[in-house]
Amino acid sequence: MSQKTELRRKQIIKAAYQAVADKGYETVTLQDIANYADVSKGVPNYYFQNKEDVLAHLLEEITERIYQKEKTAVVNETSFQDMLQAYIEAVFINPRENKKFFKVYLDFLAQATRNERYREINALFYQNCSSISKMILVRGESEGHFHNRNHDDDGKTIRSMIDGYMIQWLMTGDDKKHETYKESCLKAITNYLTS
Amino acid sequence: MSQKTELRRKQIIKAAYQAVADKGYETVTLQDIANYADVSKGVPNYYFQNKEDVLAHLLEEITERIYQKEKTAVVNETSFQDMLQAYIEAVFINPRENKKFFKVYLDFLAQATRNERYREINALFYQNCSSISKMILVRGESEGHFHNRNHDDDGKTIRSMIDGYMIQWLMTGDDKKHETYKESCLKAITNYLTS
DNA sequence: GAAATTATTCTGACCGGTCAATTAATCTGA
DNA sequence: TCAGATTAATTGACCGGTCAGAATAATTTC
């Protein structure tokens, strides 16, 4: 694939991200995506097989990007508590980005219940998130905060708390509450792990 | 509203529930809903203002019904641990019903990010769920399992775990894993509360 | 037989995907 | 070097299909 093709695809996916955030997964049209990308309607179909193909690449792109961001934040810390806090800070980055990402992500989760391809992309995301949790847990054990924990279960629990708190924050529709939800989430995970 | 009208509306909402579970929030048409209810296409429009009105009543109905079921399960128990277990058993009732409810509920959550009315209905549901958690927490305190907890935060955390675990189970697409996700969820909440 | 209810038909709008036509970019060879 | 040829990228009109809601017709009920 040429460099230009790569750039065009990125441009279209970026436009699709904003378009889906604004209009929703099902409501968004190829025309919308084209408009957001400042190209004509035929372009998305030229660079992707069809609408679903555009959106599947969008899901891949945003989950991968989030994962990289979170991982980088965590590996740059040395202590268990700093790693955990860095993780949560990276997740709850700010109201604007969180709203955009989770609006779109929720749309994809809803679709994934009826779409195997989206489920697979999300499964990879879960796996990646789990690997981040594992790094933190290993560090926590080596620091003696706890022992013999089930890392798979803890990974699921941490993921649950993050998704759950983020969804509940999203449903408040209140940007100002973002900080308190972040703090509550961090406290809840800390309390769960270190008892 | 006459009794017959009430029945018809219930019939349409029930049909809409199955239709949305099968086809998804945006994909479902009034024709689908009419077909599932074995009535003609004009009927839903006669008993409701429009498509969104049908679906809003559907969300109200299913969240209220789930809440009543969960509350009943909890108040019939006497000890903290039995109440908590009864709650989780009522939530993770069985793969078929959970899949149906959470498919539809996820659809509505995704819609709610762009629809105030759905957010309000969901806010009431959260409030109801929180009241169930509170009953369990009060009992746990009176039994001496813990003290001076923040009931609001704990309510949010418990809701997070339930939604989070349920979503993760849903994404596995594996009915057989239902039981283990239920157990993990119960363990995680227990571990969180009683440390 | 009039009003209420249900069934059918109509309408205007919109969407995804196609494709012929146009334009831009790249290559070729003298 | 550069003009002509070839390939790639882009455009937007168009088509088949679908839908929500309105309008209308048929039927039932009282």
Tell me, yes or no, if B42 comes closer than 8 A to chain A by beta carbon: no
At B97, list the tokens: 């019903």
Contact B163 A163 (CB under 8 A): yes
Contact A114 B24 (CB under 8 A): yes
CATH T-level assignment (fold) for domain A1-48: Arc Repressor Mutant, subunit A (1.10.10)
Per-residue pLDDT of chain A (195 residues; tens, 9 = 90+): 677 788 899 999 999 999 999 999 999 999 999 999 999 999 999 999 999 999 999 999 999 999 999 999 999 999 999 999 999 999 999 999 999 999 999 999 999 999 999 999 999 999 999 999 999 999 999 999 999 999 999 999 999 999 999 999 999 999 999 999 999 999 999 999 997
Q: Is the pLDDT of residue B194 over 70?
A: yes
At A117-173, the pLDDT tens digits run 999 999 999 999 999 999 999 999 999 999 999 999 999 999 999 999 999 999 999
What are the residue ranges spanned by the domains of chain A?
A: 1-48, 51-193
Nucleotide in closest CA–C1' contact with B2 = C4
Protein chain A, residues 110-169, with a C-beta closer than 7 Å to any atom of nucleic acid strand C: none
- Region B178-183: mean pLDDT is 98
For the CA of B31 and the C1' of D28, the distance in angstroms is 23
Query: Residue B117's pLDDT band (boundaries 50, 70, 90)?
Result: very high
For the CA of A39 and the C1' of D6, the distance in angstroms is 25
CATH number of B51-193: 1.10.357.10
User: Which long-range CB contacts under 8 A does B182-187 form with residues at least 24 apart?
Assistant: B182/B88, B182/B89, B182/B92, B184/A153, B184/A156, B184/A157, B185/A160, B185/B88, B185/B91, B185/B92, B185/B161, B186/B84, B186/B85, B186/B88, B187/A153
> In this predicted structure, what is the pLDDT of residue B109?
96
The alpha-carbon gap from A109 to the nearest alpha carbon of chain B, in Å, equals 7
